[in-house]
């Protein structure tokens, strides 16, 4: 029972900490970079994972973040049958929940290296 309580507290803590990171903070941050030099952004967050040139000669910088994690989740089961038949006692089992989070950030710059627009894809584009 102590193990289950510790596991529950850990899961609640993780959920509360993730609640601080929001998509709106992510949007606000990258909206503030529009009109600024891409080199300054690269100095702050590091080199992009990839780049490509558009037909209009603008350049797109791509940043990717992906995370897979698992956490135990308790399952309670009640059985029918048992060795001699009849109803069995409930049992506590544990399985793993696997979660994949990803975010891909696209920053488009003009020929002078000024960020003209940005976009993102993924299920976890958030920022604290």
Query: What pLDDT sits at residue 44?
Result: 95
Average pLDDT (18-33) is 87
What's the structural domain count of the chain? 1
In a domain, 33, yes or no: yes
Domain of 10? Answer: 2-122
Residue pLDDT, tens place only, 91-110: 556 677 888 999 999 999 99
DSSP characters over the chain: -HHHHHHHHHHHHHHHHHHT-BHHHHHHHHHTTTTSBHHHHHHHH---SEEEE-TTS-EEEEEEEEEEEEEEEEEEEEEE--SSSSEEEEEEEEEEEEEEEEEEEEEEE-TTSBEEEEEEEES---B-
In a domain, 26, yes or no: yes
């Amino acid at each position: 029972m102590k193990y289950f309580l510790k596991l529950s507290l850990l899961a609640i803590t993780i959920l509360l900490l993730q609640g601080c990171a929001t998509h709106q903070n992510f949007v606000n941050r990258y909206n503030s970079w529009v009109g600024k030099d891409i080199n300054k952004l690269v100095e702050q967050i590091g080199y992009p994972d990839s780049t490509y040139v558009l037909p209009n000669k603008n350049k797109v910088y791509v940043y990717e973040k992906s995370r897979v994690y698992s956490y135990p989740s308790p399952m309670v089961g009640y059985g029918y049958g048992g060795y001699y038949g009849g109803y069995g006692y409930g049992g506590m089992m544990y399985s793993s929940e696997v979660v994949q989070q990803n975010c891909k950030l696209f920053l488009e710059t003009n020929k002078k290296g000024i960020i003209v627009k940005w976009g993102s894809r993924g299920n976890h584009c958030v920022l604290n």
